[in-house]
């Protein structure tokens, strides 16, 4: 009889530990960063409440990057950053946790005004101020194709993204 009673008693602590790990995993999967942006470093990198966020699926020029249009250089990085600042404005931003970059930076899918609001990542590609990266190629392919066809943002001239 004693052996039968001990076996279930040993399983109870193990089941509790398994449940705790499951809860911790669920909480981490629902992690997010929220607040009003405090800095835009580039269209693909913003800071929210002290947390640096890399927008998932995007690549964009740095602030000092220049592009060429009709053999004339223009500050495409500065213009892309300005467009991002203008769009974000004073909105509340919610970025859902999509993992971490190789350097440990928060990787986010970001929305203006909270989840369900306009998706910032898609808007930047649709307006031509960011391009898709390999991870986001399928997700934002339609937006990038449209921006390129309508010569928006960085696509106002045929560009070669030298910032890769």
Using an 8 Å Cβ cutoff, are 61 and 163 in contact? yes
Buried b (16+ CB within 10 A) or exposed e, 42-75: bbbbbebeeebbbbbbbbbbbbebebeeeeeeee
Tell me the mean pLDDT in the region 129-151: 87
How far is it between the farthest Cα atoms of the chain?
89
Using an 8 Å Cβ cutoff, are 83 and 153 in contact? yes
Domain ranges of the chain: 1-29, 31-156
pTM above 0.85, yes or no: no
Under CATH, which number does the domain 31-156 receive? 2.40.50.90
The pLDDT tens digits for 59-92 are: 888 888 888 777 788 888 999 999 999 999 888 9
Tell me which of 42-46, 56-60, 114-118, 153-157 is least confident. Answer: 153-157
> The tokens of 80 are what?
């892309």
Q: How far apart (Å, rounded) are the C-alpha atoms in residues 67 and 56?
A: 23
The CA–CA distances, whole Å, from 19 to 8, 9, 46 equal: 16, 16, 36
Which pLDDT belongs to residue 8? 43
């Amino acid at each position: 009889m004693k052996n039968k009673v001990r076996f279930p008693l040993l399983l109870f602590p193990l089941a509790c530990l398994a449940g705790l790990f499951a809860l911790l995993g669920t909480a981490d999967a629902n992690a997010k960063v929220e607040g009003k942006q405090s800095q835009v470093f580039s269209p693909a990198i913003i800071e929210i409440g002290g947390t640096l966020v890399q927008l998932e699926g995007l690549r964009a020029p740095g602030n000092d990057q220049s592009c060429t249009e009709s053999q004339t250089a223009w500050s495409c990085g500065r213009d892309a950053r300005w467009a991002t600042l203008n769009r974000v404005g004073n909105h509340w931003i919610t970025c859902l946790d999509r993992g971490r970059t190789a350097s440990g930076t928060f990787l986010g899918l970001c929305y203006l005004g909270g989840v369900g609001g306009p998706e910032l990542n898609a808007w930047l590609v649709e307006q031509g101020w960011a391009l898709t990266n390999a991870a986001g190629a399928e997700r934002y392919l339609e937006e990038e194709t449209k921006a390129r066809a309508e010569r928006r943002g960085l696509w106002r001239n045929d560009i070669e993204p030298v910032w890769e």
